[in-house]
Amino acid sequence: MLNALVTNLAAEGEVANNPLLPAWYDIIWSGLWFIIILVVVWKVALPKLTKMLDERSAAIEGNIAKADEAQKQAEAALEEYTRQLAEARTEAGEIREAAREDGKKIVAEAKDAASSEAARITATAHTQIEAERQTALVSLRSEVGSLAIDLAGGVVGETLSDDARATAVVDRFLADLEVSEKAAQ
């Protein structure tokens, strides 16, 4: 179609008007509106756009700074937590070790107390046995002495009423008996 238009105009002889170039009044009005729009954009829109971009940039930089600060605080808190955790573990180990030592001391003290109690009970038992032995020995001497005097009185045919003499005879007899037992062992 453009070819047809160019051919038609060339045939009519009007070569001065080029269909690709607009008319001079269109160029002037277009240029005037372009300048008006350019001034409005330059004076109104561009400063607002620049201000908005600067605010966004400042907000982003502020948020980045806040994030960096928060990250530093988080790292410091993590280091503090790690340090406290290490201290707590060390303290727990020390407490466990102290408890073990205290347990060993308590067991040793209990053993010592049990040993001393056993020794005391053994000594008391020995003392009691010795007392009972002495009691039995005195009782035996008395009974053996009475029997010996009665037997001797029966053999001799008289009663031996002298207590001092009878006691001396019984003691001598028992002493001889003890000596013969010790010699047999």
What is the per-residue pLDDT across 65-97, written as a single tens digit (0 to 9) for each? 999 999 999 999 999 999 999 999 999 999 999
**CA–CA separation, 166 vs 1, rounded Å?**
177
Answer yes or no: is pLDDT of 6 > 80. no
Q: How far is CA 175 from CA 145, 170, 185, in A?
A: 12, 9, 16
Instruction: Please check whether residue 148 is in contact with residue 169, taking contact to mean a CB–CB distance below 8 angstroms.
Output: yes
* Pick from 149, 147, 179: nearest CA to 164: 149
pLDDT digits (tens, 9 = 90+) for 102-133: 999 999 999 999 999 999 999 999 999 988 88
Of 175 and 116, more confident: 116
Kindly report the pTM of this predicted structure.
Answer: 0.39
Question: Which of 49-63, 123-137, 170-184 has the highest mean predicted lDDT (pLDDT)?
Answer: 49-63
Instruction: Please check whether residue 125 is in contact with residue 154, taking contact to mean a CB–CB distance below 8 angstroms.
Output: no
* Pick from 175, 174, 116, 185: nearest CA to 140: 174
